[in-house]
Amino acid sequence: MNQLTPTLLADGFVFLEGPRWHDGSLWVSDMWGFKVYRISTNGAREVLFELPERPSGLGFLPDGTPLVVSMANRKILKLVNGALVEHADLSAHVSGDCNDMVVDAQGRAYVGNFGFDLFNGAPPQMANLVRVDPDGSTHVVAQELNFPNGAVLTNGGRTLVVAETFGNVLTAFDLAADGTLSNRRVWAALGERTPDGICLDQDGAIWVASFMTGEFLRVLEGGTVSDIVPVPGKAAVACQLGGEDGRTLFCLTYEGTIEDLHQGKVAGAIETVRVNSPAAGSP
C-alpha cells in the first residue's frame, strides 16, 4: 500500500464539504460557516454566496448553472444571475437534512440525506436517495440506504456509486437512460471505515474520505486499498481530484467535534497531495 503525506493549502474555515473542481478552481461549501467559496490553486479564496440553511453538495447543470444543496430546508438551489433561486424541494421524500449529490450529463442530480436528526441525537434511520430532474421534479430512486452521502458516476455514466457512511460500504447501481437505478450491489465493503465524500479517477478507482478513521483511501472495486493519506487527529470529510493536470487530490479535513460546529469554531482546512491517476470528472 502506498502511503502519502498531504500539505496544507488553506485553513480558517468552519466545516468544509462538497468539493468540486470547476473551470480551473476548487469550489467548496463551508457548511457551518454558511458560505460557498471558490479556491485558487495557491489557496486564495473568494466568497461566491452565503447560505444560512447550510450549503453542502455542489454540482453544475449542463449549461454551467451551479447547483447547491440547502441542507436544513431540504432544497436544491441554483445560482442564476448572482442570486440563489429554488430548483427543487426534496422535503416530501427525505427524513433528514440533505447532504451530498452528484449531477449526471443530462443535468439530473442524485441527492442523499441523513435519514434522521443527527445533530440533535435522534436514533439512526435508513434514508432514500432522490433524483432531481432538470425541470425540478423529484423522484425516489433508492430506499433503505444507511446515510447515503458522496456519490460518483462511473462506467461511462452507466453506474452510480454512493457512499453509505454508517453502512461502511460503497454501493453501486446500474443507471438507466431514463435515470432509474437497479441492480443494487456492494462495490466495496470498507470494514470499520466510514465513507463520506468520494471522487473518481481515470483508472476507475474511487478516492474515499473515511470520516471517523481520519484517512483518505484510494479504493478499487472489490475493496482493495491501493493508497492511503492519513490525517491523524482529524476527520476526513471529502475529497476531489483537480488541478491543471487533474492529479492534485484536495482533501477536506476537520479538527473539532460536533459540539464545536454549533459554536462556529474554526477547524476546517484543505490539504493537498499529488497522485498518479488523474480526475475522471465525477462528481
| pLDDT, position 258 | 82
Other Cβ atoms less than 10 A from the Cβ of 128: the count is 21
117 or 220: which carries more pLDDT confidence?
220
Is the pTM here over 0.85, yes or no? yes
pLDDT given for residue 217 in this prediction: 98
pLDDT confidence tier of residue 120, bands split at 50, 70 and 90? low
pLDDT of residue 121: 66
Residues 100, 91: Cα–Cα separation, whole Å = 15
Looking at this protein, which amino acid is placed at residue 275? Answer: V
Q: Grid coordinates in use for 72?
A: 436544513
Q: Is the pLDDT of residue 119 over 90?
A: no
Q: Distance between CA atoms of 243 and 155, rounded to whole angstroms?
A: 23
What distance in Å separates the CA atoms of residue 67 and residue 85, rounded to the nearest whole number?
A: 10
In contact, 69 and 111? CB cutoff 8 Å: yes
Q: Which of 11, 18, 53 is nearest to 255 (CA)?
A: 11
Distance from C-alpha of 221 to C-alpha of 35, rounded to nearest angstrom:
35
Residue 128 to residues 5, 38, 48, 106, Cα–Cα distance (Å): 36, 30, 30, 21
pLDDT at 261: 85
Beta carbons within 10 angstroms of residue 241's beta carbon: 24
Q: What is the dihedral of CA 184, 187, 193, 194, to 10 degrees?
A: -40
pLDDT of amino acid 115: 76
One-letter amino acid at 120 equals N
Helices (H), 93-182: none
Helix (H) or strand (E) holding 262: helix 258-263
What tens digit of pLDDT does each residue of 122-181 get?
A: 677 899 999 999 999 999 999 999 999 999 999 999 999 999 999 999 999 999 999 999
Q: Are strands 215-219 and 16-22 parallel, antiparallel or unpaired?
A: unpaired
23-63 confidence digits (pLDDT tens) = 999 999 999 999 999 999 999 999 999 999 999 999 999 99
Q: What is the pLDDT of residues 3-14, one digit of tens each?
A: 999 999 999 999
The rounded distance, in Å, linking the Cα atoms of 172 and 183 is 8
d(CA 99, CA 111): 7
**Is pLDDT above 70 for 118?**
no
Bridge-partner residues for 47, per DSSP?
A: 37
